[in-house]
Structure 1
Amino acid sequence: MYHKHQLPCLHCQPHDYIRMVQHMIERCLLFQMSRDDCVKALAKHAKIEPIITLTVWKELLKENKGFFQAYFQANSPRQFNNWSTQSMATFRRRRHWR
């Protein structure tokens, strides 16, 4: 059974489909998206079932532990809060200089 899709079909071309989902997840990571944001974005824009995205994400996590540890650390809310607090303090100081 062969479906004529522009994108790979999960049932007809499972390896290509999984590779496509992996590529899309990697693009989400470039935009510093969380796992949940990535799942929502792929479901909405690419019509990929959340369970598929979560499964591929889990496998990527297993294969690339060091990368994901650094990624989560760099994109943690605590890091953002520290950055925004420091930025606001700098902004306030600059505003007083005028």
Structure 2
Amino acid sequence: MYYNHHPFPCLHCHPHSYIRMVHHLIERCLLLHMTRDQCIKALAEHASIRPVVTLTVWRELLKENRDFFQAYFHSISPRPFISGRIQKGPRFGRRKHY
């Protein structure tokens, strides 16, 4: 006999297990250096988790771990290319008169 058994806990039947699962999946997204929006989209597409649930768990994690998230956001933020080796020529050169 075949039973339709889902590997994921149900939000309504087992809310604590469901929230822990979402928490774990968010941590996996963080290991992949995803932004909040990328994480929300990935969990919606691949785990069928409603964005409002992911966002709510994300916000709670942010409140509990403010220092971690500040360092995390700093580490994944795009940085402009800075190098002291590149020398630009003069911006306005002399015109050559022929």
TM interval, shorter chain, is: 0.7 to 0.9
Distance 1:29 1:19 in 2: 15
Rounded to whole Å, the distance in 1 between the matches of 2:21 and 2:9 is 8
How many residues end up aligned between the 2 structures? Answer: 81
Of Structure 1 and Structure 2, the greater helix share is in: 1
Aligned position for 1:96: none
Runs of 4+ in 1 over 4 A off after TM superposition: none
Q: How does 1:54-69 map to 2 (within 5 A)?
A: 54-69=55-70
Q: Is the partner of 1:54 in helix, strand or coil?
A: helix
CA distance in structure 1 between the partners assigned to 2:47 and 2:27 by the alignment? 14
Percent of aligned pairs with the same amino acid? 64
Tell me the secondary structure at the aligned position of residue 54 of structure 2: helix
Match of 1:92 in 2: none
Counterpart residue number, 2:39: 38
Q: Secondary structure at the match of 1:48?
A: coil
Equivalent in the alignment of 1:25:
26
In structure 1, list runs of 5 or more residues that go unmatched: 90-98
Query: Structure 2: where are the runs of 5+ without partners?
Result: 87-98
Q: Quote how far apart the aligned CAs of 1:4 are.
A: 4.1
Scaled by the length of structure 1, what TM-score is found?
0.77
Aligned 1:2-17 pairs, distance under 5 A? 4-17=5-18
